[in-house]
Structure 1
Amino acid sequence: MRRIFIFFGLVALFLTAACSSNDEQPAEDSEAKENATNQKAEASGALHTYPLTGVKTDQPVDNRMVGVMVNNHRKARPQTGISKADIVFEVLAEGTITRFLAMYQSETPDVVGPVRSAREYYFELTRGYGGLYIYHGAAHFVNDMIQNRGIEHLDGALHDNDGQLFKRASFRTAPHNSYLQFDGIDDAAQQKGYDMTRSYEPLPFASEEEAASINGDSAERVTIVYSNRPKNIVEYRYNAENGTYTRYSDGTKTVERNGETAITTDNIFIVETPHQVIDDAGRRQVDITSGGDAYLIQKGNVQNVQWENRDGRLIPVKDGDPVPFVPGQTWVNIVPSSPGMEQSVTISNE
């Protein structure tokens, strides 16, 4: 019996020494890390990655992304379906009102809305990510752009209240009551000859170890002032228990209309870029190509970065290298360069 104890003691000593030796080894290069990650994913059966969230799955990821124009007028809140979006872009549409471009792929809600009209920078963002653009109506010159540039799209104005692709809700009045029926998208797309199968290169994402060691200034609360008069203020409040941020509009928690599900995000990417009003209705041109200053906010920390448009996608960059998102959902808030982020964005540890 004593020999057995001695034997296991020697084995334990050997393993301890081996572990200590490994701890003293230099860090693996990126290729070795990638191989290790792939082996781990293969062992768990999760061989595929959702390109907009970085989340692993054992199912093939070949469904096409869908970008939906979602109304953010006060009369349209709370919205439906945005909690399942992989990425949401929030940009001024006209006047002081923002609108959402909700990008879906890893999850698909039954209903999204209310859906509103198109803008150039929204459909160009959708095209840059390789998605199908869905909206409800547009000014004639915007529809001309969509047609002339070959933007693959579905227009709710052509399916208004058909019950298959769009339905009008009785609990709201137009133009705040048009809702996309998600299960009607494939049929409508096939009728227009669009391919709804597509593969994508994932966005840059951090590993678990990298996500756990993100450094930066404290960012417990983020406030973005799109307008004080009339009020249009967005807030994100950090929840350290789950590492996510909860979104608020004008002091009210952003939730799903049905179920009161709070809207949360893992990444907040604030992008500063020039805006220009182009007509009496307050419509804008928004520069989504030139790059500029940005904040990347994750895990209770903020990093000062730059943003670049790389192959149509907005990427955080530092010293020319992409800065990874943490796996999960992302909100991209695009703000005008005048007055700029320093005046319109407040980040604090409260």
Structure 2
Amino acid sequence: MAEASGVRRRKRGAGTGSRTTRRTVLTAATAALTGAVLPSCRMGEESGGQGASPFTGEQGRGAHVLAVKVDNVPAARPHTGLEHADIVYTEQVEAGLSRILAVFASRIPATVGPVRSARESDIELLRQFGEPALAFSGVQRTLLPTLEASPLHLLPPAELGDGYARDPARRAPHNLYLRARRAERAARGASAPRDIGFRFGAAPEGGRRTAQETVRYPAARFTFTWSPDRRRWHVAMDGVPARTRGHGRLAPATVVIQYVTVRQSRYRDSSGSVTPYTETLGSGEALVLRDGRAYEARWSRLSPGQGTVFTDARGGRRLSFARGQVWISLVRKD
């Protein structure tokens, strides 16, 4: 997708709510470097305690929410920093390929990447986090006004030049990396982690035993294989074990396959392919994987500011996730 020539970032004055805007040049910098919220609830046994992250159920919340748009074609692998993400979303992009949106808060790694461009549906997905920061390499020119009007704290290379670097050992555009700690320091006005609907605790009753589940996009696939030794789901991408630089296999504790509407947007990439829009508002079916079992579920998110609630498909009770990293694959419903 062609990147835009500029992104305007809103600056919020501390305690005043004042907002100013300014335009910057994105293409040159990249080339050179490159509603209502859910009611609050007490964090008790189900969610991990007062100091626990609302995203993982583990101790340590972090100060700000930082989302990073990550490339996921074979040339972009192995990734860097994904093992530290609290939540990893996968979604369909042009030509049936997949892309990753990684959400960090409790642990901010030194480097994340490779970083790629944002999409319109990222705005809707991220609204449940409040006003998070979003790091991305660029954006289609015609999408700029919509992105700039959003409440996200935008951190493209033009806004954070010293926060990005190119890896000379890789080919562009698959070699742009975010200095994530620098980005998190620059996003002081970004929202702190808050309840987005997840619950953590003991495994619910029922479910079916499963050793492996696969998520398919038109031109990509993810396979999640249960590891009894690690008590995690090993990830494979397009049939190849997914590893990160220096940190071994990617292995989330919980995997959610969330069935959503994926429709055409009004945007196209530079080759003419229509950009899909993934809808994350509404309700639908899901499959929750934890502890070697699969649970039929329902998901519901009724307004942009609300989190996504996952319940048992039969009884309607909230489904508890295993504590640790959560992967959510947003997949077109039948």
Amino acid at match of 1:111: T
1:178 aligns with 2:176: yes
Residue 264 of structure 2 corresponds to which residue in structure 1? 277
Identify if the C-alpha distance between structure 1 residues 275 and 203 changes in structure 2 by more than 3 Å, giving closer, same or farther.
closer
RMSD, matched Cα = 2.3
Post-superposition CA distance 1:28-49 (Å, at most 9, x none): xxxxxx89859xx8xxxx7411
In 2, the alpha carbon distance for the partners of 1:254 and 1:80 equals 11
Residue 20 of structure 1 corresponds to which residue in structure 2? none
Residue 37 of structure 2 corresponds to which residue in structure 1? none
Q: Is contact 2:62–2:106 with CA below 8 Å preserved after alignment?
A: no
Deviation at 1:183, TM superposition (A): 2.2
Residue 254 of structure 2 corresponds to which residue in structure 1? 267
Deviation at 1:251, TM superposition (A): 1.5
Deviation at 1:136, TM superposition (A): 1.0
Relative to its length, the structure with more helix (as a share) is 1
Residue 198 of structure 2 corresponds to which residue in structure 1? 204
SS at structure 1 position matched to 2:63: coil
Deviation at 1:154, TM superposition (A): 0.9
Residue 87 of structure 1 corresponds to which residue in structure 2? 87
Q: Is contact 1:168–1:179 with CA below 8 Å preserved after alignment?
A: yes
Q: Is contact 1:214–1:299 with CA below 8 Å preserved after alignment?
A: no
In 1, the alpha carbon distance for the partners of 2:59 and 2:111 equals 25
Between Structure 1 and Structure 2, whose CA radius of gyration is higher? 1
Amino acid at match of 1:274: T
Matches within 5 A, 1:78-117: 78-117=78-117
1:242 aligns with 2:230: yes
Q: Is contact 2:198–2:310 with CA below 8 Å preserved after alignment?
A: no
Structure 2: unaligned runs, 5 residues or longer: 1-41
TM-score, normalised via structure 1 length: 0.74
Moved more, 99-108 or 122-131: 122-131
In 2, the alpha carbon distance for the partners of 1:141 and 1:35 equals 42
Residue 253 of structure 1 corresponds to which residue in structure 2? 241
Residue 30 of structure 2 corresponds to which residue in structure 1? none
In 2, the alpha carbon distance for the partners of 1:320 and 1:86 equals 26
In 2, the alpha carbon distance for the partners of 1:260 and 1:198 equals 27
Amino acid at match of 2:239: G
Amino acid at match of 2:226: Y
In 2, the alpha carbon distance for the partners of 1:148 and 1:202 equals 22
Post-superposition CA distance 1:19-64 (Å, at most 9, x none): xxxxxxxxxxxxxxx89859xx8xxxx741111001135xxx4501
Q: Is contact 1:62–1:197 with CA below 8 Å preserved after alignment?
A: no
In 1, the alpha carbon distance for the partners of 2:122 and 2:104 equals 14
Q: Is contact 2:123–2:150 with CA below 8 Å preserved after alignment?
A: no
Residue 322 of structure 2 corresponds to which residue in structure 1? 326
SS at structure 2 position matched to 1:265: coil
Residue 210 of structure 2 corresponds to which residue in structure 1? 219
1:290 aligns with 2:298: no
Matches within 5 A, 1:1-16: none
Aligned residues: 282
Structure 1: unaligned runs, 5 residues or longer: 1-33, 341-350
Residue 65 of structure 2 corresponds to which residue in structure 1? 65
SS at structure 2 position matched to 1:56: coil
Deviation at 1:197, TM superposition (A): 6.1
Post-superposition CA distance 1:232-257 (Å, at most 9, x none): 2211110112321000012211000x
Give the counterpart of 1:52 among 49, 52, 55. 55
Identify if the C-alpha distance between structure 1 residues 202 and 89 changes in structure 2 by more than 3 Å, giving closer, same or farther.
closer
Deviation at 1:105, TM superposition (A): 1.0
Residue 308 of structure 1 corresponds to which residue in structure 2? 300
Identify if the C-alpha distance between structure 1 residues 37 and 289 changes in structure 2 by more than 3 Å, giving closer, same or farther.
closer
SS at structure 2 position matched to 1:283: strand
Residue 167 of structure 1 corresponds to which residue in structure 2? 165
In 2, the alpha carbon distance for the partners of 1:253 and 1:186 equals 30
Percent identity among equivalent residues? 23
Q: Is contact 1:271–1:333 with CA below 8 Å preserved after alignment?
A: yes
Q: Which runs of 4+ in 1 moved over 4 A?
A: 34-38
Identify if the C-alpha distance between structure 1 residues 322 and 141 changes in structure 2 by more than 3 Å, giving closer, same or farther.
farther
Deviation at 1:202, TM superposition (A): 6.4
Residue 343 of structure 1 corresponds to which residue in structure 2? none
